[in-house]
Amino acid sequence: MNPKNPFLIKGYISPQLFCDREKEVKDLYNSVQNGIDTTLVSPRRMGKTGLIFRFFDFLSKQKDIQTIYVDIYSARSLNDFIKLLAEAILLKFSIRTSIGKQFLELIKGFRPLITYDAISGEPQIQIAYHSTQEKEYTLQGLLQFLDKQSPLIVLAIDEFQQITDFPEKNMEALLRTYIQPLKNVRFIFCGSRKAMMMNLFSNAKRPFFSSTRYLFLDKIDASVYAAFIKNLFKKNGIKTEPDAIDFILSWTKCHTFFTQSLCNMVYSMENELVTIDVVKKACIELLKRNESVFFQYRQLLTTAQWNFLIAVAKEGEVKQLTAKDFINRYGIGTPADARRISKSLLEKELLLDTNTKTETVYQVYDVFLSRWLEREY
């Protein structure tokens, strides 16, 4: 069902409701055509998953390519990983097709219990293993099955960093061993924990070292986003004042999810003309709706951590978290205090560090929290 509101805050529907990412789609396609796997990285909610579906939509016109998407966010072990992969393959290939039939035959060999979710109708597979080898053999079997197909397979594994939390310590080596010989499968490894993803793929001591091409997903260009927003309102009979759109993009710092959310809110307020005042009302409403989450953050943090977040929010961006100037202005303590507090806030994903060639810039990870702290304190 298509929602009436054209500004999506989850999922992917069509290119018309998706802004830009033309270059990224081209880059992904180029890699697929040249036999290169991709590591797709960005801060949370910048649009990685959306891009994968946009790319798959682009590929859907090609008969000789099939796409499979697996989200392993919920996986806690190799067992779960195999289960999710098998379910994704089963979901992709209808058992009425020849590939689907072959796949069903293959997994029957693993003596699975297959059920179908009562609500979504999606297949659920349970396999009981007698040994670790059997498990590894199953994983290899699934990947080899994909490799044998005549259409090229593009397999996107979302939240890939999850494998570093599995109890199986050889997960990376195992996957690498099975993935390396594949000729017919192109991988997209996707994740938001940049340090962890870079460590997986750029650490010379680890199995995936140098095996993929990076795609770092950045913010959408502001002028492109502005045109997209104006156009979506216009298509739905709503006029927009240019400075209202500029205000949207600056208030959300042009971050995809927050921009989509604000536009969604503005749209839902059913004005015929979007002015700055309308946008400001939407901002306040959004902050109000998120307040209970912000209170929760406060409960989970120490006073020093909370005050640190307020300081960063007030600054908007901070380049040197231990600089005297910054520390003194907000009564943070010593540079060592600042270092310790910022480290824990970065680990909790409450602070975001963005690296450019020359410097690192810090900001509050959640743009709405940042705007709320700025206003409230």
Ligand X SMILES: Nc1ncnc2c1ncn2[C@@H]1O[C@H](COP(=O)(O)OP(=O)(O)OP(=O)(O)O)[C@@H](O)[C@H]1O
Give backbone dihedrals phi and psi of 168, rounded to 5 degrees, phi first.
-70, 115
Q: How far is the CB of 191 from ligand X (least distance, A)?
A: 8
Q: Which is nearer to ligand X, 138 or 260 (CB)?
A: 260
Q: Could you tell me which residues come within 8 angstroms of residue 376 by beta carbon, excluding any fewer than 6 positions away?
A: none
Looking at beta carbons, which pairs linking 88-92 to residues 24 or more positions away fall under 8 Å? 89/142, 89/145, 89/146, 90/114, 90/123, 90/125, 91/122, 91/123, 92/66, 92/67, 92/68
Q: How far is the CB of 113 from ligand X (least distance, A)?
A: 30
Q: Which is nearer to ligand X, 106 or 196 (CB)?
A: 196
Evaluate whether 222 touches 73 at the Cβ level (below 8 Å).
Answer: no
Q: Which is nearer to ligand X, 216 or 294 (CB)?
A: 216
Which among 27-35, 47-55, 126-134, 318-326 is the span making contact with ligand X, rule CB under 6 A? Answer: 47-55
Q: Would you state the structure tokens that stand for residue 130, as one six-digit string?
A: 């007698």
Rounded to the nearest 10 degrees, the angle between the axes of helix 256-268 and helix 242-251 is: 130
Coil, helix or strand at residue 156: strand
Under the criterion CB under 6 A, does residue 11 sit at the interface with ligand X?
yes
Sign of the CA dihedral 305, 311, 315, 321? negative
Coil, helix or strand at residue 294: helix
Q: Which of 6, 50, 112, 123 binds ligand X (CB under 6 A)?
A: 50
Under the criterion CB under 5 A, does residue 256 sit at the interface with Mg ion?
no
Q: At residue 97, what is the residue type?
A: T
Task: Choose the contact partner of 71 out of Mg ion, ligand X, none; CB within 5 to 8 A by kind.
Answer: none
The span from the CA of 216 to the CA of 42, in Å, is: 6
The CA-CA-CA angle for residues 205, 208, 211, to 5°, reads 120
Q: Which of 48, 83, 135, 193 binds ligand X (CB under 6 A)?
A: 48
Under the criterion CB under 5 A, does residue 161 sit at the interface with Mg ion?
no
Under the criterion CB under 6 A, does residue 282 sit at the interface with ligand X?
no
- Restricted to residues 43-72, the positions that interact with Mg ion (CB under 5 A) are 48-49
Under the criterion CB under 6 A, does residue 223 sit at the interface with ligand X?
no
Residue 87: burial class (beta carbons within 10 Å; 0-12, 13-18, 19+)? middle
Under the criterion CB under 6 A, does residue 123 sit at the interface with ligand X?
no
Under the criterion CB under 6 A, does residue 47 sit at the interface with ligand X?
yes
Under the criterion CB under 6 A, does residue 19 sit at the interface with ligand X?
yes
Under the criterion CB under 6 A, does residue 257 sit at the interface with ligand X?
yes
Q: Which of 49, 66, 79, 363 binds ligand X (CB under 6 A)?
A: 49
Q: Which of 8, 127, 222, 304 binds ligand X (CB under 6 A)?
A: 8
Q: Would you state the structure tokens that stand for residue 32, as one six-digit string?
A: 């697929």
- Interstrand relation of 239-240 and 273-274 (parallel, antiparallel or unpaired): parallel
Q: Which of 27, 36, 44, 285 binds ligand X (CB under 6 A)?
A: 44
Under the criterion CB under 6 A, does residue 350 sit at the interface with ligand X?
no
Q: How far is the CB of 63 from Mg ion (least distance, A)?
A: 28
Q: What is the largest CA-CA distance in the chain?
A: 69
CA atoms within a 13 Å half-sphere pointing along the CA-CB vector of 189: 24
Q: Would you state the structure tokens that stand for residue 219, as one six-digit string?
A: 């913010």
Q: How far is the CB of 55 from Mg ion (least distance, A)?
A: 13
Q: Which is nearer to ligand X, 46 or 373 (CB)?
A: 46
Q: How far is the CB of 194 from Mg ion (least distance, A)?
A: 14
Task: Choose the contact partner of 257 out of Mg ion, ligand X, none; CB within 5 to 8 A by kind.
Answer: ligand X
Evaluate whether 212 touches 189 at the Cβ level (below 8 Å).
Answer: yes
Which among 31-39, 242-250, 253-261, 303-311 is the span making contact with ligand X, rule CB under 6 A? Answer: 253-261
Under the criterion CB under 6 A, does residue 3 sit at the interface with ligand X?
no
Under the criterion CB under 6 A, does residue 256 sit at the interface with ligand X?
yes
Q: How far is the CB of 202 from ligand X (least distance, A)?
A: 19
DSSP states of 298-322: HHHS-HHHHHHHHHHHHHS-BS-TT
Which among 18-26, 126-134, 175-183, 200-208 is the span making contact with ligand X, rule CB under 6 A? Answer: 18-26
Site residues (vs Mg ion, CB under 5 A): 48-49
